Amino acid sequence: MINIVDCPQCGRLFKQDEPWKRLCIGCYISGKKKESPRPQERPRAHQPIDNDMLKRLIMLCHPDKHGGSKMSVEITQKLLRMRDK
According to the model, what pLDDT value does residue 63 have? 94
**Residue 53: which of 85, 84, 83 has the closest Cα?**
83
Angle between helices 70-84 and 51-61 (to 10 degrees): 160
- Alpha carbon distance 21, 8 (integer Å): 11
- Show the domains of the chain with their CATH numbers: 3-34 (3.30.60), 51-84 (no CATH)
* Model confidence, pTM: 0.46
Report pLDDT digits (tens) over 4-57: 889 999 989 988 988 889 999 999 888 877 665 666 666 677 788 899 999 999
List b or e across 24-34, with b for residues whose CB sees 16 or more CB atoms inside 10 angstroms.
beebeeeeeee
